Structure 1
Amino acid sequence: MRAIHRSAAFGLIAALALTACGSGGDSDDNPLAGDSADSGSGKSIVVGSANFPENQLLAEIYSQALESKGLKVTRKFDIGAREVYYDQVVKGGIGVFPEYNGALLAVAVDKNSTATSTEDINTELKAKLPDSVEILDSAEAQDKDSVTVTAETAAKYDLKTLADLKSVAKDWTIGAGSEFKTRTQGGVGLKKVYGVEFGTFQPLDAGAQSTLLKLLKDDKVQAANIYTTDPAIVEDDLVVLEDPKSLFSSQNVTPLVNKSAVDDTARSALNGVSAKLTTADLQNMMKKLVNDKEDASDVAEEWLTTAGLVS
């Protein structure tokens, strides 16, 4: 599951994190954070992020959406892993955090959960989260595992879903992180749920995403476990095969908030982001952030403006 081991799995993208530390950052020492809005009346909402670029970008989107409603925001980005930041949200040190619902449930809330769909995951989260916190509306946008092929391969073999691999996989090689082979949400599940078993498995280190992409484009592997917001999906015209049976658990971008930190105006602003944000949007924004080296605050502002959430 991508979000559970995100700091390792992000590979090249993670290497571009502006500050990769395990302790909390603040607006004074984080280039993505900007200045804390400490003027005017009313308390400031602390918006946090984990220590990888996509999550920092999402936190910046949340921050600007809140500020567009006249709310004061303090940015506390680059905090670290879920084991570090989750407790801060529960205790109220952080008011708003961009989460991934499937990983939040499986890592922080109920490690024994078997829920995979967005609806089931969110139902369990609403029932099991501590009383001090809640999730708001989930976005369509997800950053999750996938089995991905090139556009040429998809067209040649008429591949649309994971089930379509059944007749060809036995002659193919799939490339993925070494753990993929034995995971339920990986090789084991592909066989059990879809009857798909690849002839050869090519293991790679979690950080070898660029190598995996080259192998896929060079047809050294015919399918690859690529995460759904990887900019290469857009840039290289790759095809993410659909997963109608929800083998890979949903990882919808979902605001996690401390109830005491947000009012109805804040909730409305954050839910407005979720209503507009798609996986394709994230792919495009990550391309601008990682490949084109654009500033995160500019990328966030451009998306919010295009989505009609700020003027």
Structure 2
Amino acid sequence: MKKLIRGAAVGLVAALTLSACGGGDSGDDNPLAGGGESGTITVGGANFPESNLLGEIYAQALEAKGIKVSRKFNIGAREVYYDQVVKGGISVMPEYNGALLTTSVDENSKAATTEEINAELKAKLPAAVEILDSAEAEDKDSVTVNPQTAAKYDLKSIADLKPVAGELIIAGPSEFETRQHGLKGLKEVYGLEFKKFQPFDAGAQSTLVKLLTENKIQAADLFTTDPTIQQNKLVVLEDPKNVFSAQNVTPLVYKKAVNDTARAALNAVSAKLTTQDLLDMMKRIAIDKDDQEKVAKDWLTKSGLL
């Protein structure tokens, strides 16, 4: 799914920062690596708000069980943080199961459903890590167009783009250009060739949406829990051929760093978290500008987990 770093320089800085925090090769020898102190669980977050919100929810849920937590948010792309989890530099990482599978584990996988994806992850992940229970909550990549483009070409499905894609500019994170859950998959599965791809950094989301509403770009990779979709009456195109597979929120953990108490706390979060919860919380963060710590605490309290 999802949500990734947009520049080599930023990625290098993030990687170096993690190495300095105990995310190097020594992680395999230290069952509690990454926290800086024995017994500390390090919870990570990628470089986009929803990932950091989920990380904060995990962190507070763990702390509620008396577990000491270190937070490492705004790390960067999966290409940066995944190896850190495998090496033990990060103990717990909020993930999206479909994107994890095809980006870091098996880029040729054709698994589409939650059950298929999780079965492949459990079989193919490195021995040092595992996924815990997936939430019902899901946040997918999407091809989203502005209302004028949808009306002009009568667009309802990604398949409808085939005769007109050559006239359209599509934008998204830089990784969208080469990923199977991106332009690569759209070309292979739907035969789409766009006029131009315009990459955007993670911090430029508001600019991307502004250009989309102004029709300076006509399509974009937006995540389906982005509250600006509804706010701006944007149109998420249906994906009948499942280029964008299931993307359930799923904790990825370094096995040696999480005990049964931690696993139970994280699975309890997954048991409660819905897509509507994500939409509601992301509205509070993106539109209302609430602090993620408060948003996380409010949800955990409402869900009976604090």
Task: Give the distance between the partners of 1:276 and 1:122, measured in 2 at CA.
Answer: 19
Residue of structure 1 in register with 2:304 after alignment: 309
Q: How does 1:126-145 map to 2 (within 5 A)?
A: 126-145=122-141
Residue of structure 1 in register with 2:51 after alignment: 55
User: Which runs of 5 or more residues in structure 2 are unaligned?
Assistant: 22-34
Q: Is the 8 A contact 2:165 2:195 kept in 1?
A: no
Q: Is the 8 A contact 1:59 1:97 kept in 2?
A: yes
- Which of 93, 98, 101 is the matching residue for 2:94? 98
Q: Is the 8 A contact 1:146 1:228 kept in 2?
A: yes
Output the TM-score relative to the length of structure 1: 0.72
Q: Report the CA distance between 1:171 and its aligned residue.
A: 8.6
Task: Give the distance between the partners of 1:143 and 1:281, measured in 2 at CA.
Answer: 11
SS of alignment partner, residue 205 of structure 1 = strand
Task: Give the distance between the partners of 1:149 and 1:155, measured in 2 at CA.
Answer: 10
Q: Is 1:109 aligned to residue 105 of structure 2? A: yes
User: Which runs of 5 or more residues in structure 1 are unaligned?
Assistant: 15-19, 27-35
Q: How does 1:79-228 map to 2 (within 5 A)?
A: 79-150=75-146, 160-165=156-161, 169=164, 173-177=168-172, 185-187=181-183, 189-190=185-186, 192-194=188-190, 197=192, 201-207=195-201, 209-228=205-224
Q: Report the CA distance between 1:188 and its aligned residue.
A: 5.7
How many percent identity over aligned positions?
59
Report Cα offsets for 1:223-245 as digits up to 9, x if no partner.
Answer: 33223233312332323223232
Aligned residue pairs total: 282
Residue of structure 2 in register with 1:77 after alignment: 72
SS of alignment partner, residue 7 of structure 1 = coil
What one-letter code is carried by the residue in structure 1 that aligns with 2:197? P
Task: Give the distance between the partners of 2:257 and 2:169, measured in 1 at CA.
Answer: 45
SS of alignment partner, residue 176 of structure 1 = strand
Q: Report the CA distance between 1:139 and its aligned residue.
A: 2.3
Task: Give the distance between the partners of 2:143 and 2:44, measured in 1 at CA.
Answer: 31
Q: Report the CA distance between 1:170 and its aligned residue.
A: 5.9
Q: Report the CA distance between 1:152 and its aligned residue.
A: 6.9
Q: Is 1:273 aligned to residue 284 of structure 2? A: no
RMSD: 3.7
What one-letter code is carried by the residue in structure 1 that aligns with 2:5? S
What one-letter code is carried by the residue in structure 1 that aligns with 2:69? T
What one-letter code is carried by the residue in structure 2 that aligns with 1:125? L
Q: Is the 8 A contact 1:146 1:226 kept in 2?
A: yes
Task: Give the distance between the partners of 1:298 and 1:263, measured in 2 at CA.
Answer: 27
Gap change, CA 1:202 and 1:96, over 3 Å in 2 = same
What one-letter code is carried by the residue in structure 1 that aligns with 2:94? P
Q: Is the 8 A contact 1:160 1:242 kept in 2?
A: yes
Q: Report the CA distance between 1:220 and its aligned residue.
A: 4.4
Task: Give the distance between the partners of 1:252 and 1:50, measured in 2 at CA.
Answer: 16
Report Cα offsets for 1:146-188 as digits up to 9, x if no partner.
Answer: 111345766787755434556x746962422477577654456
Task: Give the distance between the partners of 2:214 and 2:79, measured in 1 at CA.
Answer: 38
Q: Report the CA distance between 1:270 and its aligned residue.
A: 1.5
Q: Report the CA distance between 1:103 and its aligned residue.
A: 3.4
Residue of structure 2 in register with 1:31 after alignment: none
Q: Is the 8 A contact 1:102 1:252 kept in 2?
A: yes
Task: Give the distance between the partners of 1:137 and 1:192, measured in 2 at CA.
Answer: 31
Q: Is the 8 A contact 1:172 1:221 kept in 2?
A: no
Q: Is the 8 A contact 1:44 1:71 kept in 2?
A: no
Task: Give the distance between the partners of 1:179 and 1:86, measured in 2 at CA.
Answer: 15
Task: Give the distance between the partners of 1:238 and 1:122, measured in 2 at CA.
Answer: 31
Q: Is the 8 A contact 1:233 1:283 kept in 2?
A: no
Gap change, CA 1:159 and 1:92, over 3 Å in 2 = same
- Which of 295, 298, 305 is the matching residue for 1:299? 295
Task: Give the distance between the partners of 2:76 and 2:166, measured in 1 at CA.
Answer: 41
- Which of 263, 282, 286 is the matching residue for 2:282? 286
Task: Give the distance between the partners of 2:245 and 2:48, measured in 1 at CA.
Answer: 21
Task: Give the distance between the partners of 2:169 and 2:129, measured in 1 at CA.
Answer: 40
